[in-house]
Structure 1
Amino acid sequence: MATLHLLSHSPFGDTRLDSCLRLLGTDDALLLSGDAVYALQPGTVPAQRLLALPEGVALLALEEDLLARALAAPPRVRVLDYPGFVDCCSRYAKVNSWL
């Protein structure tokens, strides 16, 4: 059963990203929002780990949060607006928010 994982906390402040990555299935998706988009900063360990995920895992980021932090998404990451986020939530059997 494919799951959409929602992560909004910085990977530099706690271990939520690490915990999430351990549980990602091959057909799951990870949506970065809020400070979690800092994980996409080039040259960082979190970015390297995310970009090394299997192609079956969808990597997503909210456009508004990337823009607010002056970050660009690498080609591997699909950027979503809010309607795209809502649509994405409906495509997965489960949604897990890493609070």
Structure 2
Amino acid sequence: MSTLHVVPHSPFTDSRLDSCLRLCGAQDAILLCGDGAYALQPASAPCQALQAKGVKVFVLAEDSQVRNLAVPAWAASVDYPAFVQLSIDYDKVNTWL
């Protein structure tokens, strides 16, 4: 069973992304939104952890743009309609509130 993990909080202020990464399986994906997009800061520990995990990583385009964050080649930028489609494509959606 696949899960889309939605992470809206900065990895620099709490450990939700770390917890998410521990639970992610090979069929899962992570969607970074809001301050969660800060996980894509180049050369940061969260960015390296995301890349090393090897799961699909998505980021809301609006959130990466407003924070002036480049989206690495191993992640995909999505808009709101694509976010809705992702929530349909995965068996479950878990938002890390």
The TM-score range, normalised by the shorter chain, is over 0.9
Q: Deviations over 1:53-98 (max 9, x none)?
A: 22xx211000000011001100000110000000010001100000
Q: Which runs of 5+ in 1 are unaligned?
A: none
Partner of 1:34: 34
Task: State the secondary structure of the residue aligned to 1:27.
Answer: coil
Q: Which runs of 5+ in 2 are unaligned?
A: none
What TM-score comes out, normalization by structure 1 length?
0.96
Amino acid at match of 2:89: R
Aligned length: 97
Within a 5 Å distance, the mapping from 1:16-31 to structure 2 comes to 16-31=16-31
Q: Aligned residues: percent identity?
A: 54
- Structure 1 consecutive aligned stretches of length 4 or more whose deviation exceeds 3 Å: none
Say what the alpha-carbon RMSD is for the aligned residues: 0.5
Amino acid at match of 2:48: Q
Within a 5 Å distance, the mapping from 1:33-72 to structure 2 comes to 33-54=33-54, 57-72=55-70
Partner of 2:15: 15
